[in-house]
Amino acid sequence: MNELIYSNNVYTLRKEYGISQDKMAADLEISRRSISKIENGDQNLSLEMAYRIASYFNRSITNVFPLHEITNLRVCNMHKYNRDNIIT
């Protein structure tokens, strides 16, 4: 069975823009720990937060949080997946 899972480009975009986790957290009025969890895929985002982050980088949600189709999903952690199984 094929599944859809999102990844995120928050870390890459934050580094590209030269923004620290502390600055981004302050700008979005959330904790630095939340930024870290988002970047590591350890926090499920609300739709509102996904829009706020995409807007922060002036990007679309699908650019910041792209969906990938995967096969043979092996769940070790609900938010982790084997990147070798992504269909591009």
Q: What are 26-48's pLDDT values in tens digits? A: 999 999 999 999 999 888 889 99
pLDDT beyond 70 at 74: no
CATH for 81? 1.10.260.40
Number of structural domains in the chain: 1
Q: Which residue has the higher pLDDT, 87 or 41?
A: 41
Q: Which residue has the higher pLDDT, 69 or 51?
A: 51
In the chain, DSSP assigns E strands to 3-6, 67-70, 86-87
Residues in the chain: 88
The phi and psi torsions of 6 (rounded to 5 degrees) equal -100, 150
- CA Rg value for the chain: 14
The predicted pLDDT at position 16 comes to 95
Domain with 56, as residue range(s), is 3-87
Q: What are 2-25's pLDDT values in tens digits? A: 676 778 899 999 999 999 999 999
